[in-house]
Amino acid sequence: MPELPEVETIRRSLLPLVQGAVIDGVQVYLAKAVKPAPDEFEAGLAGRQITAIERRGKYLLFQLDSGQRLAIHLRMAGSLVWQSGTPSLAKHTTLVLSFQDGNSLHFVDPRKFGTAVLFPPAAPPAGLTALGLEPLNTAKEELMAVLEEAAARRSGPVKGLLLDQRVLAGLGNIYADEVLFAAGISPTRPAREVTRAEWEKIYESIVRILNKAVAYRGTSQRDYVDGRGEAGEFQHHLKVYGRKKETCLECGEPLVYARVAGRGTHYCPTCQK
């Protein structure tokens, strides 16, 4: 699933291509992917200019000159790719926005869980309003306080807390595993037993790894590509994620792959306590 670094990379790659573009055609190929229903969705977008693209957690937020916003969430396997000139329709395309300049933006989603929601600023969708802090735009003290406070209320493993979008917005399975490895904390540790010094290590790892992953334009292990259809490079820098059955790069012992917080989890039982 695209996580913060991938969604941020898509945002940065699309911004120069679509900022200022005027939508003159809307094709919905999967009605359940859009809100409101296709007729109203199309009417709300046609003729509108895209003035900016923001990101919140794993959501892309397209600002329109009407004041409305389009929130796109790629979920498991969605991609959002710009095409120049006459569009070619890929398999699993759920939505196409065509622009007056002859170019187009394609939402392709083999798993069909992705969503595109058009909404007025006063009535954002529930998924957006429930989001927690942005890990890269929040002061350390505030983020630490929220993590510790959330941990005190929770009996589950620390990994589950890092994945909880209502606490931190944007971390998913890849970066939760990488962060916990870098911090030397086992993903199975009960969140409430993590000490302040360890939260500090987790905080520093979150900021360092997310920034590095953004710099390398995300992780392309499966289907992720940016807005130009280009792969990222951070898969070459992963320490544990996706290295099932391999050995730890730090200590040489076999890595463990197990289900933690409901997700397939990679970690080193020797380096992570």
Looking at beta carbons only, is 148 or 250 nearer to Zn ion?
A: 250
Is 121 in the active site? no
Distance CA 265, CA 227 (A): 28
User: Smaller CB distance to Zn ion: residue 18 or 268?
Assistant: 268
- Smallest gap from Cβ 187 to Zn ion, in A, equals 13
Choice among 48, 58, 69, 217 that is catalytic: 58
Nearer to Zn ion, 161 or 268 (CB): 268
Question: Is 58 annotated as catalytic?
Answer: yes
Considering the candidates 3, 6, 42, 178, report the single residue annotated as catalytic.
Answer: 3
3-state SS track over the chain: CCCHHHHHHHHHHHHHHHCCCEEEEEEECCHHHEECCHHHHHHHHCCCEEEEEEEECCEEEEEECCCCEEEEECCCCCEEEEECCCCCCCCCEEEEEEECCCCEEEEECCCCCCEEEEECCCCCCHHHHCCCECCCCCCHHHHHHHHHHHHHCCCCEHHHHHHCCCCECCCCHHHHHHHHHHHCCCCCCEHHHCCHHHHHHHHHHHHHHHHHHHHCCCCCCCCCCCCCCCCCCHHHHCCCCCCCCCECCCCCCECEEEEECCEEEEECCCCCC
Phi, psi (deg, nearest 5) at residue 48? -90, 150
- Out of 2, 38, 124, 187, the active site residue is 2
245 is catalytic: no
Is 233 a known active-site residue? no
Minimum distance, C-beta of residue 43 to Zn ion, in the bound complex (Å): 56
Residue 272 CB, nearest distance to Zn ion (Å)? 7
For Zn ion, the binding residues (CB under 5 A) are 248, 250-251, 268, 270-271
Comparison of 150 and 268: residue with beta carbon closer to Zn ion: 268
Q: Which is nearer to Zn ion, 149 or 246 (CB)?
A: 246
Residue nearest to Zn ion (CB): 248
Catalytic residue among 35, 189, 263, 269: 263
Shortest distance (Å) from residue 188 CB to Zn ion: 15
Instruction: Work out how close the CB of 248 gets to Zn ion at its nearest, in angstroms, rounded to a whole number.
Output: 3
Residues noted as catalytic: 2-3, 58, 263
